[in-house]
Each structure stands twice: as structure tokens, then as C-alpha cells.
A = this chain, B = another copy of it.
Amino acid sequence: MGITLEQAQAAIQAAHRKALEMGVKMNIAVVDAGANLTAFVRMDDAWLGSLDISIKKAKTARFFDMPTGDLGKASQPGGSLYNIEHSNGGLITFPGGLPIMDSGNRVIGAIGVSGSSVEDDHAVAEAGVKAIQGQ
């Protein structure tokens, strides 16, 4: 459904290369249009707790077809989606998850990255998306 394994691996390879350049240790997950895990790598000595977070970020980005950080703005106390994180077996709503679109702007999957600051996580996820976006 949507993203192919070849595309998913190209996204992960690009994200992995970016992480090596930045000197950070990441967990990188790609899910397909059905939000099912398609490819995953955990860099040596990356935080163990980031394994689950990277997969949840990728799923969250596909569940709602938006960057995870956007969802997090609405899930704060008093926000319209307060504590939406309780659904779907646990969402992650801070940055590091991004949907991936094809050339027709349809969502074909998503990438989730975890292992450093949320800014670093987002930058590595973006590198993955750029490698295959619009194909």
C-alpha cells in the first residue's frame, strides 16, 4: 500500500546518512499508507526508549497526515485535541514524524525519527522525506 520497500529503504538510507553527518544516534522507522512498519533501523548505541517512539511518530504522522509536531500544538491542556495521545495504543505528538507524499500529493507513508533533540529528530526525518518525496 503506497510506499514501496525500495522507496522506504532510500528514505532510511538518506536519513541515516544525515544522522551520521550530524553525529547523532537515531532510530528511524518508515510506515506505509496503512501505517504498517515497512523498514526500520536502530543505529548502534541509540537510546533504547527511542525505538518505540520512532515507530509511534511514523504511525502518528500517517494516522493524521500531518507532521507530528502540528498535532502536538492541539493536544496541549485546553487545546481542542487535549490528550489525544491516549488513542491508537499511544501517539507521539512532538516533532520527528512526517508524512511522505507522491507526485500527486497523496500520502503514501510516513517516517519517524527519535534519538536526539526534537529539532535534530525533525531534521533527520526531513532528509528522509526529501530523498523520495514526489516520486
Assembled-state Cα–Cα distance A94/B38 (Å): 23
Query: Contact: A5 with B42, CB < 8 Å?
Result: yes
Contacts of A9 in B (CB 8 A): 41
A31-47 vs B, Cβ < 8 Å mask (1 yes, 0 no) = 01111111111111001
Chain A residues numbered 46-67 whose CB sits less than 8 Å from any CB in chain B? 47-53, 56, 60, 62-65
Contacts of A39 in B (CB 8 A): 40-42
Answer yes or no: A72 CB below 8 A from chain B CBs.
Answer: yes
| Interface size grouping (class) on chain A | 35 or more
User: Is B85 within 8 A of A118, CB to CB?
Assistant: no
User: Of B4, B48, B53, B85, which one neighbours A34 at CB under 8 angstroms?
Assistant: B48
A9, chain B: closest CB distance, angstroms: 7
The verdict on A81 contacting B56 (CB below 8 Å), with A5-B43, A41-B38 known, is no
A124: CB under 8 A from chain B?
Answer: no
In the complex with contacts A41-B5, A44-B4, A76-B82, A88-B49 CB distance below 8 A? yes
Alpha-carbon distance A50/B43, docked complex (angstroms): 24
